[in-house]
Amino acid sequence: MTPEQALLETEVAIEMITVVIDGFEVTVPKGTLVIRAAEKLGIQIPRFCDHPLLKPAGACRQCLVDIEINGRAFPKPQASCTIPVENNMIVKTQLTSTVAEKAQEGIMEFLLINHPLDCAVCDKGGECPLQNQAMSTGRPESRFEGVKRTFEKPISISSQVLLDRERCVLCARCTRFSEEIAGDPFITLNERGALQQVGIYEKDPFESYYSGNTVQICPVGALTGTSYRFRARPFDLVSIDSACEHCASGCAMRTDIRRGKTLRRLAGDDPSVNEEWNCDKGRWAFKYLTNRERVTTPMIRGADGELHETSWPEAIAFAAAGLKDKRAGVLVGGRTTVEDAYGYSKFARVALGTNDIDFRARPHSDEETSFLSRVALNLKTTYKDIDVADQVVLLGFEPEEESPIVFLRIYKQVSKRALPVLSDAPFASRGSEKLGAVLISDLSKIANLTTKSVVIVGERLAETRGAFSSVYELINKSGAKLAWIPRRSGEPGALAAGAIPTLLPGGRPVTDPAARVDVAAAWSVESLPTSQGRSTSEILLALNVKNLDAVVIGGVDPLDISSTALTQLLNSFVVSLEISHSAITAVADVVLPVAAVIEKSGSYLDWQGSPRVFEKAIADSLSRSDVRILSMLADEMGSPINLPTVSATAREIASLGKWDGTPVAFEKSVSEKITELGEKLNLKSWRLLLDLGTLQGGEANLAGTARKASAHISKARAEKIGVKSGELISISSELGSLELPVEICEMADDLIWVPRNSIGSQVIANLGFVNGQVKVIKA
Amino acid sequence: MTELTPRPDDLGLTAAAKANVPIENQNAKSFFAQLQGFWVTFTTMFKKVTTVEYPEVKEPMAEGFHGRHQLNRYDDGLEKCIGCELCAWACPADAILVEGESNTEDARYSPGERYGKVYQINYLRCIFCGLCVEACPTRALTMTNEYELADDSRSKLIFEKEDLLAPLRSGALKPPHPMAEGKTHIDYYRGDITDIKND
Amino acid sequence: MGLEEKLPAGFALTTVENLAGYMRKNSLWPATFGLACCAIEMMAFGGGRYDAARFGMEVFRASPRQADLMIVAGRVSNKMAPVLRQIYDQMAAPNWVIAMGACASSGGMFNNYAIVQGVDHIVPVDIYLPGCPPRPEMLMDAILKLHEHIGNEKLGVNREQIIREVEAAALAAKPTHQLNGLLS
């Protein structure tokens, strides 16, 4: 935290200090570094190692200035990035002091001695602080006539980061980031003197989930991303501010486009959310768009059972005929923008006349539905609450795997002031270890909750019956802050847009007549369906037994819901709105191509409930957003939803606003009785950040740093089965089995944990469920 | 306020006619003047014709003429282009597109790490200013004297890398192939590679 | 005269085609249509050193009615575009267009709101001539390439056949937004 932020956050008066820099007076809080005080005046001192979010290091020495305190000058120029301001300090930068200027020029010349002259091929060329500052503060000519030091180049320190050691200026930004911010000290400075270089440990590759940030903050081209290497130069990229579509953390992003193709994504700058960081998935997982074959033309299934390309009017007419006056449901998927989710929500109510709509393409429960409609919608917890929390409780939530930026925020407080963290995870994952999380087996172990505590629940809590009820009680009793952080970016927005069986947009309960009148008036329709609709699993069940005839499906992977989801669809009329060919389009009767994130504008809601708006990155795309296509479909069906554009939709959402009436009551559920396990083990799982997810397709370099799948069991259990660490075990259920190497860790003897969707461990496909009892034997 | 000058009724010839000024008879002088004119015409018949007999005779362009581009090669056939896109950067008409790619040990197109995988010049945008040539750090891009470029469609005037690459000299090998034994990209850059004999 | 358009396909038509082509290509009269710097080079082409008269095109006609070749020499601003089109429409068929120089061909370095990004947005162009501005030799080269076109032009039913083929090829062509690089 910089002193400026501290000033905002605490009410304690902060001592202000006035210094003179280059003859100008500036008053800054005590503790401010000279280099920042100069920035405040608009005086730029060249620097490489200094980064406002990292601790001062004074490694590069480029920021030397002449300093005098109380009339006594320092004998030599000082690094302005490590010296805090003092009273009566007079600073002379390169602008007014020849000593400082000469010192900076000398350092620059020194840094350039061994820096190769390969700017023409270097990825950083054109946006390189070294290039720029060599021009602004370097000497025009080099006096060096020797041979430059060379190293083997590039060496890959992980599959996604390459290191050119000869370009390194030893600023230690990367190593400091990894240690201070990410807590993954896999990268260090080795050797001393002229031989000093950045390196990795022999045994541990640089497999951090945040390694991409080191590439972004490297002030030279020493660290480069494998997938961007030599792809483009900064001057022919068009940069667009965007939002990350991967998780509900809500990172601000920058997307760099060249001729209609995303070439790279960088972390955007939003101090209240992601500061300046993002995770590797957000940074590098964008090739899903070019990986699978895009659907570009509408397709309908002919009498021969094959999909045939057709025109838009024909496809829309065919879809409308199959949906009109039929009993139909809507599966939205967790990746829609708020506007698209609103489109699905309105389409279900107005065009299909049903509340059978659900955004949850994952295991879910009625208890969760109730929790979402009563509790989750009205939460006001933010990142700031984590910053000032006295305790963080993680329930059904692995921050590093499921919301990496939330993890960074918690880790920041853990490393700064040893913030206590509790987690209900079955074993201490790498993330939990870094947080020093205390594992708890049930909620009754949570003590000392105050109004400053933050309880974070994840989507996996729906898999434990009664868990949401216990949390609800806990929060009511203690007054602690509650946050619901789902894994997917679209879920908070879809909930607010009413893409759930119990709610209309804005959190209006479908069972409340006043709420229905409210929405019906805004939509200019006479009435809205009155009864609570079906959830995802109920819709699929109803389709299977012919209680529903048709279904409209957005971006859904059936294997995220259940192993039988796809077969349940086979007997009904399926309208699929998709970007590329998928399991759903393979069985769909009508496939309508929609725009991918870079081709449309829209917004996501992050888990705090604040909108992350983004604009079209590719202006001349022919693809249309889901809401536009649904609007066309509704027109054809004769019950228009009047949402022709994304901006019109956003306006309608804004004018509708939030519900201020009484919300529905939370229906509590009772926890399940623990059944007798016998020889079986209780299966626990969650998804790893980097796994087989659809949106990570096509990026082999990213997949290369995914954590290896292994089954975790306790030592006693391992002995009982007779396996040692690293040996294969076979995990089986009635529906199937999988084999994984074993990893022994501290955990309960009756539990086994496996990753949910990694290579060799796709739990829903292999075992048929995510939570249940499995037989474990040595393979 | 000054008095407005009254506008004269008429000027020029009509005025002169009105004034009834006699026009001088110049016959005596003009006879010799006319002869002089015929003499110029007559002598021209014995002068060298200035007309350039294009297309039958194609006179060489001046040195440094800005014609069609060429992507040069090193003596052994490796491309000089390193795909740095500086030419595209320098281009004021945005007529050049370059996409770089890594050289691998199996597929080496240029010495060093990087080569230009895609190289396109749109000759309908190009203004032949030569800034790209100035920007090129390896002298990979130069301009030839070829100027007969007109064609009947836009797409035919977007030249691809294959159209722009210099022909292989005898003894040179078409890339991809490895660098000369024991040589680095620096040696190539300095021209320190074994010269291939030209016959 | 229009008679040639009525001939049935066969020996007679091809002979007439060759004859008409020979005559047309050797009596091209360009319309005076200089718009910018390219026009200076075009004037040089008309002068003694390059001598347009060698190709039977010594007169640049001020009236479009008497011209059958429009050399668009220079950048066409959006304001000039309708004028250019009108002049093209006033030219008697058969008539041809050369887009001379980068600006007329594609907008050149003036990729902005004021300049038509290629004169082919307004009139059909037969020959594109790169250069900024092109030398008179380059213009002569373009004209000779146009001569070749004109010499091989078809008439009557043969012409209709060609038009049908071109149309079919255009329909089957890949849309420009799906092409890569500068082609897009």
pLDDT tens digits, A204-221: 777 899 999 999 999 999
Q: Is the pLDDT of residue A614 over 60?
A: yes
**What residues of chain B lie within 8 A of the CB of C145, using their CB?**
150-152
**What residues of chain C lie within 8 A of the CB of B51, using their CB?**
48-51, 54
Mean pLDDT, residues C136-157 taken together: 92
- ipTM score over 0.90, yes or no: no
What does the radius of gyration of chain C's CA atoms come to, in whole angstroms?
Answer: 17
pLDDT tens digits, C3-21: 667 777 777 888 888 999 9
Q: Search chain C and give the residue with CA nearest A618.
A: C177
C184:A622 CB<8 A: no
Burial state string for B54-81 with b = 16 or more CB within 10 A and e = fewer than 16 = beeeeeeeeeeebbbbbbbbbbbbbbbb
C177:A259 CB<8 A: no
Model pLDDT, residue A369: 93
**What residues of chain B lie within 8 A of the CB of C149, using their CB?**
152
Single pTM value for the model: 0.88
Helices A646-656 & A626-637, crossing angle to 10 degrees? Answer: 80
Q: Is the pLDDT of residue A131 over 60?
A: yes
B185 to chain A, any CB pair closer than 8 A? The answer is: no
Model pLDDT, residue B199: 40
Model pLDDT, residue B197: 44
Q: Of A256-260, B157-161, C48-52, where does the model show the most confidence?
A: B157-161
Model pLDDT, residue A453: 94
Contact indicator for A596, A615 with CB cutoff of 8 Å: no
* Residue indicated by tokens 């570009």: A296
Q: Is the pLDDT of residue A6 over 80?
A: no
Residue that wins the pLDDT comparison between A6 and A12: A12
C111 to chain A, any CB pair closer than 8 A? The answer is: no
C184:A260 CB<8 A: yes
Model pLDDT, residue C86: 94
Q: Is the pLDDT of residue A8 over 80?
A: no
pLDDT tens digits, A58-102: 999 999 999 999 989 999 999 999 999 999 999 999 999 999 999
pLDDT tens digits, A473-519: 999 999 999 999 999 999 999 999 999 999 999 999 999 999 999 99
Model pLDDT, residue A609: 92
* Nearest CA-CA distance, residue C147 and chain B, Å: 12
Contact indicator for A455, A395 with CB cutoff of 8 Å: yes
pLDDT tens digits, B165-193: 999 988 889 999 999 888 888 889 888 87
**What residues of chain C lie within 8 A of the CB of A260, using their CB?**
177, 184
A713 band by pLDDT with thresholds 50, 70 and 90: very high
AA letter at A102: K
A261 to chain B, any CB pair closer than 8 A? The answer is: no
Contacting chains of C (3 CB pairs or more, <8 Å) are: A, B
Model pLDDT, residue B198: 43
| Pairing, β C30-31 against β C69-73 | parallel
The whole-chain average pLDDT of chain A stands at 91
Mean pLDDT, residues A713-729 taken together: 92
* Nearest CA-CA distance, residue A511 and chain C, Å: 49
**What residues of chain A lie within 8 A of the CB of C181, using their CB?**
259
pLDDT tens digits, C54-68: 998 878 888 999 999
C174 to chain A, any CB pair closer than 8 A? The answer is: no
Give dist(CA A724, CA A454) in Å, integer.
39
Model pLDDT, residue A680: 86
A233:B82 CB<8 A: no
Q: C-alpha angle A299/A305/A306, rounded to 5°?
A: 45
Q: Is the pLDDT of residue A7 over 70?
A: no
* Nearest CA-CA distance, residue A145 and chain B, Å: 16
pLDDT tens digits, A662-675: 777 788 887 766 66
pLDDT tens digits, C67-83: 999 999 999 999 999 99
Model pLDDT, residue B19: 61
Contacting chains of B (3 CB pairs or more, <8 Å) are: A, C
pLDDT tens digits, A439-466: 998 888 888 899 999 999 999 999 988 8
**What residues of chain B lie within 8 A of the CB of A120, using their CB?**
82, 84, 86, 137-138
Residue that wins the pLDDT comparison between C32 and B81: B81
C181:A260 CB<8 A: no
**What residues of chain B lie within 8 A of the CB of C107, using their CB?**
125
Pick from A180-189, A208-217, A474-483, A738-747: least confident: A180-189
Q: Search chain A and give the residue with CA nearest C180.
A: A259
Give dist(CA C74, CA A103) in Å, integer.
55
pLDDT tens digits, A559-585: 898 888 999 999 899 999 999 999 999
Most C CBs within 10 Å, among B47, B66, B118, B154, to test the C interface? B154
Most A CBs within 10 Å, among B85, B87, B141, to test the A interface? B85
**What residues of chain C lie within 8 A of the CB of A620, using their CB?**
177
Distances (CA, A) of B88 to A124, B18, B48, C108: 17, 71, 46, 15
B10 to chain A, any CB pair closer than 8 A? The answer is: no
Which of A120, A154, A232 is opposite residue B86, by nearest beta carbon?
A120
Model pLDDT, residue A27: 94
Domains of chain B and any CATH numbers: 69-190 (3.30.70.3270)
Q: Is the pLDDT of residue B11 over 60?
A: no
The pair of three-digit structure tokens given for residue B61, joined into one six-digit string: 């362009």
